[in-house]
């Protein structure tokens, strides 16, 4: 190759390689500083698309976890209120048994009726004030859909049927007028027994829903962990690998600068021919 001074080929080659090394060093710095191997679609177009979908799914699972926990909270509130209504029914049964004693006079039996009537009102009051997020859980027999998945299929929803525990639904309104009559007091015992069975059945349903939601939460947590791991394998940087590349690119940049400096001095050799 001839000795020329207008075009420094060696310098151009050194510049080209230095630009490549600088680009790779910049990429290493970006990955090490962000912790991600894929910072833009240009880094890995298919990987970015897959990682973004996985991240969307994991965020949806987090929302489903919150929904499931809200469902458990609603069920716990409903169950505790139902338990209190059950306690009231137990007391009302005690009153009905006491008022069914044939030796009582009308005035004495009327005392039992007074408490009975107030307890009937308390059942309605508890049912009407038991709510979660503005929904009355025991007064209307509503159904509540809990979104327990991150998709829109029927398998991603759980429909819970809440109880209706007002006194009339429990069959107690017919006896609210009095325990003062012996026959009504005797009849009340059968109604109370039926009401207690209804309460127990509803609480059993609450317990079944709660256990199902617990299982759902456990499954969602496992799924969330696996999806996070899958996204990490695509998006996150391997620091051991990236550190090695960073060191390599640092050396290449430093050596490239040194070689470029030497290449820029090569045309000066032509001066020796002019001496």
Would you say the C-alpha torsion 34, 40, 44, 46 has a positive or negative sign?
A: positive
Please give the residue that has the higher pLDDT: either 271 or 51.
51
Query: Of 14-18, 102-106, 159-163, 222-226, which has the strongest mean pLDDT?
Result: 222-226
262 vs 7, 59, 127, CA distance in Å? Answer: 15, 55, 90
Per-residue model confidence (pLDDT) at position 76: 95
Grade residue 259 by pLDDT with cuts at 50, 70 and 90: confident
Nearest to 28 by CA among 265, 242, 232: 242
* 24 found inside a domain: yes
Residue 216 has pLDDT above 90, yes or no: yes
pLDDT of residue 275: 65
Does 62 share its domain with 130? Answer: yes
Q: Are residues 134 and 60 in the same domain?
A: yes
Cβ–Cβ < 8 Å for 236, 35? yes
Instruction: Work out the average pLDDT over 5-21.
Output: 85
Coil, strand, or helix at residue 262? Answer: helix
Domain contains 75: yes
Return the SS3 of 28: helix
Does residue 203 share a domain with residue 74? yes
Q: How does strand 157-161 pair with strand 143-147?
A: antiparallel
> In 35-178, at which residue ranges do the beta strands (DSSP E only) sit?
131-132, 135-136, 143-147, 157-161
User: DSSP letter string over 231-251?
Assistant: HHHHHB--HHHHHHHHHHHHH
- Residue 186 within a domain: yes
Q: State the Cα–Cα distance between residues 158 and 151, nearest whole angstrom.
A: 13
* Residue pLDDT, tens place only, 160-179: 988 889 998 888 865 555 68
Model pLDDT for residues 110-166, shown as the tens digit of each residue = 889 999 989 999 999 999 999 998 899 999 888 999 999 989 899 999 999 888 899
How long a stretch of residues is the chain?
A: 275
Would you state the pLDDT for residue 75? 95
On the CB side of 171, CA atoms within 13 Å amount to 13
Q: Please check whether residue 87 is in contact with residue 136, taking contact to mean a CB–CB distance below 8 angstroms.
A: no
User: For the residues 44-66, what does the mean pLDDT come to?
Assistant: 93
C-alpha pair distances (Å), 86 with each of 53, 89, 110: 49, 5, 23
Both tokens of 110, joined, read 């009327």
Residue 1 lies in a domain: no
State the pLDDT confidence band at 266, using cuts at 50, 70 and 90. Answer: confident
**Phi, psi torsion values for 168, nearest 5 degrees:** -65, -40
For position 159, what pLDDT does the model report? Answer: 92
Q: What domain range is 16 assigned to?
A: 9-35+237-274
Say which DSSP state 268 is in: G
Q: Does the residue 4 lie in any domain?
A: no
- Shared domain for 92 and 213, answered yes or no, is yes
The structural domain count of the chain equals 2
Say whether pTM exceeds 0.85. Answer: no
Residues 223 and 159 occupy one common structural domain:
yes
Is residue 252 over pLDDT 80?
Answer: yes
Looking at the structure, do residues 93 and 198 belong to the same domain, yes or no? Answer: yes
Residue-wise pLDDT tens digits, 56-73: 999 999 999 999 999 999
């Amino acid at each position: 190759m001839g000795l020329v001074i207008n075009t420094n080929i060696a310098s151009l080659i050194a510049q080209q390689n230095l630009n490549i090394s600088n680009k790779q060093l910049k990429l290493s710095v970006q990955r090490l500083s962000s912790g991600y191997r894929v910072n833009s679609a240009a880094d890995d177009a298919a990987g970015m698309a897959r990682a973004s979908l996985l991240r969307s799914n994991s965020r949806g699972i987090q929302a489903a976890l919150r929904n499931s926990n809200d469902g458990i909270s609603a069920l716990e509130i409903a169950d505790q209120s139902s338990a209190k209504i059950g306690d009231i029914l137990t007391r009302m049964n005690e009153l009905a048994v006491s008022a069914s004693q044939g030796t009582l006079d009308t005035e004495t039996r009327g005392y039992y009726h007074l408490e009975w009537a107030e307890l009937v009102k308390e059942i309605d009051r508890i049912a009407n004030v038991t709510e979660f997020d503005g929904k009355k859980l025991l007064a209307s027999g509503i159904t509540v859909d809990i979104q327990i998945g991150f998709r829109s299929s029927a398998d991603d929803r759980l429909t819970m049927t809440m109880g209706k525990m007002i006194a009339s639904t429990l069959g107690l309104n017919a006896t609210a007028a009095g325990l003062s009559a012996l026959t009504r007091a005797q009849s009340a015992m059968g109604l109370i027994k039926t009401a207690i069975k209804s309460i127990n059945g509803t609480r059993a349903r609450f317990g079944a829903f709660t256990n199902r939601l617990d299982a759902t939460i456990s499954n969602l947590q496992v799924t969330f962990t696996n999806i996070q791991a899958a996204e990490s394998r695509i998006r996150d940087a391997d620091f051991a690998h990236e550190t090695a590349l960073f060191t390599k690119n640092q050396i290449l940049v430093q050596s490239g600068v040194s070689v470029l400096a030497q290449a820029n001095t090569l045309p000066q050799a032509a001066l020796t021919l002019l001496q």
